[in-house]
Structures are given as C-alpha cells and as structure tokens.
C-alpha cells in the first residue's frame, strides 16, 4: 500500500493510497480521511460506496464530509467503484463494467476475472484499513449513494457482525426490479434470478435475522426515482418484516452531490451515535 496524496482539511488529513489488489487482479486506488482525534488514538471507521461512473474522488471533493467526520471523530474510507485498467474487461455503456462494479462477486465471463467488488469491500480493503493504528476496527459503519447505496445496504444486511451502522442516499433499493439492476445482475451473475437475490436489499430484508436500523434519504426531484430507485419497495419490505427503517423523502432534491452534501452531516451523526455506544 503506497500513499500517493495527503492534504490537511478540517484539522485532519485526507489521504489517498494505491495498492495491487489480489481479489480484483489490478491496481486499485482508495481515499481515507483521518480526523484530528486519530492523532490521540484509534477512531471508528465508515466506508462510503459511490455510485455509477464515480471513483474515490467524487465523495472526497464534493460531499463536504470531512468537517463532520472531524466533529464526530470518525475516519471515512472511500474506495473506487470497480476494478480498473487496460486488462480489465469493459463495456461501452456508462452504466455497466468499469465504473459500475455493483458491489457483487461476478460469476460470468469475462467479468468473473476482475469484478469481485463484494469481496474487495468486505474482506481485502478492510484488512488494509484495519492494519492502520488510527483505526478501531471493532466500530465500523457503511453508507453510500445510488449504486453505492445498494452496495451499503446489501453488504450490511449480509454481514451484520461486521457493521454496526448503515445508511444510504437514493439507493437502488430493488435491483431485481429496475433496468440498472437487471442489466448488471444478468451480465455479472447469469440468468439464474435466484442468485440475484443475494444482492437485492428488498430480498435480503425478508431473510435477515439481525435487524440493523436503516437510514435512507431520497430526493423527491430525483430523475431516477420512479424507474430505477423504488424506495417504496424497500419501505414495504421493511414493513412486512418489521425491520427498522427511517426513510426521509426530501422535497425538491435531485440525485446529485448537492443533495448528498446537504444531508451528509445527518448521516455521519447517525453512524457516530451508533458507534460511540459500543
């Protein structure tokens, strides 16, 4: 792991690293914000998963999260959204392949060789992060936006022992029932729709035994709300199961980082409050 950038912000340090990923079979880059409290001892850590076409820098430069992370004393890790490189299979579409890993483990060729973002986020990346003296690996949360909101919800629901808090901005709530999800799941996983259910938050809600409270913010003016995101399906799944969900419809907000930056402070507080209780 090599540090390739370090900038002081909000009393802490915004750092960027690169490493060779064994899971993805390519070089990867990720960012870590260390709050000023990390200089005195280990701090809780949050993983942020970004959406389609993004990399680690979108959140770092647009969300305004560092001031809130410094206020609450939490680190934030922002990985890339997919494997990258000339040797990594790609597609001409903007919503599939590089930049669109969907936080799953692909089983179909040519994608299976590199597109193992689920394993990267759950296993390989935390092993690197937890080796940092500034990180308290026993206190960990996960959140994300759009495709990354889908990733945060599904990863937390499948690994309740790994994460003590979870939230999402405008997540793809039911990928088995929307064009973005159907395209990605069919290509990465094949035609067996039963295998798709492992990466669908609504399906996982019906199966989970441990009920981790969910916080979801969704803009009412989001162009993707009706066709792609479908928060009403998540709400119905949680109601049927009795799973705790706070779904906040925010009037007038769209799908952009203007929306995220408006409510990122609430989300970081949501996580910090949960993690400080441990």
Nearest to 150 by CA among 224, 94, 249: 224
Query: Residue 110: is the preceding peptide bond cis (ω within 30°)?
Result: yes
How many CB atoms are closer than 10 A to CB 11?
Answer: 13
Does 217 qualify as catalytic in the annotation? Answer: no
Options 56, 167, 222, 243, the catalytic residue: 222
Does 146 qualify as catalytic in the annotation? Answer: yes
Contact 270/71 with Cβ under 8 angstroms?
A: no
| Backbone dihedral region for residue 219 (phi beyond 0: left; psi -120 to 50: alpha; all else: beta) | beta
Options 145, 150, 255, 271, the catalytic residue: 255
DSSP letter string, 115-129: -BHHHIIIIIHHHHH
Tell me the C-alpha distance between 225 and 254, whole Å.
9
Tell me the C-alpha distance between 256 and 73, whole Å.
26
DSSP state of 203: H
Does 86 qualify as catalytic in the annotation? Answer: no
Structure tokens at 107: 């089983």
Q: Phi first, then psi: what are they for 96, rounded to 5°?
A: -155, 150
* List of residues 6+ apart from 30 with CB closer than 8 A: 16, 17, 56, 77, 78, 79, 80, 125
Options 31, 146, 165, 170, the catalytic residue: 146
Contact 81/55 with Cβ under 8 angstroms?
A: yes
Which residues have a catalytic role annotated?
146, 222, 255
């Amino acid at each position: 792991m090599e540090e390739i950038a370090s900038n002081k912000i909000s009393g802490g340090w915004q750092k960027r690293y690169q490493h060779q990923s064994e899971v993805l079979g390519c070089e990867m880059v990720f960012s870590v914000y260390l709050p000023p409290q990390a200089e005195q001892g280990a701090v809780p850590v949050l993983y942020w998963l970004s959406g389609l076409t993004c990399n680690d820098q979108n959140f770092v430069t647009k969300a305004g999260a560092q001031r809130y992370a410094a206020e609450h004393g939490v680190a934030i890790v922002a990985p890339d959204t997919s494997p990258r490189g000339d040797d990594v299979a790609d597609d001409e579409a903007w919503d599939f392949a590089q930049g669109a890993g969907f936080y799953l483990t692909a089983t179909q060729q040519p994608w299976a060789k590199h597109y193992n973002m689920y394993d990267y986020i759950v296993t390989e990346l935390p092993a690197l992060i937890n080796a940092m003296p500034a990180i308290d690996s026993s206190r960990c949360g996960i959140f994300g936006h759009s495709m990354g909101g889908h990733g945060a919800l599904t990863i937390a629901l499948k690994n309740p022992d790994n994460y003590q808090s979870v939230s999402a901005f405008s997540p793809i709530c039911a990928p088995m029932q929307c064009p973005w999800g159907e395209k990605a799941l069919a290509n990465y996983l094949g035609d067996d729709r039963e295998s798709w259910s492992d990466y669908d938050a609504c399906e996982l809600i019906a199966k989970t035994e441990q009920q981790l409270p969910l916080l979801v913010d969704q803009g009412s003016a989001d162009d993707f709300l009706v066709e792609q995101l479908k928060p009403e399906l998540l709400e119905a799944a949680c109601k049927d199961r009795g799973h705790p969900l706070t779904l906040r419809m925010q009037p007038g907000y769209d799908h952009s980082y203007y929306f995220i930056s408006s409510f990122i402070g609430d989300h970081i507080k949501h996580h910090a409050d949960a993690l400080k209780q441990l």
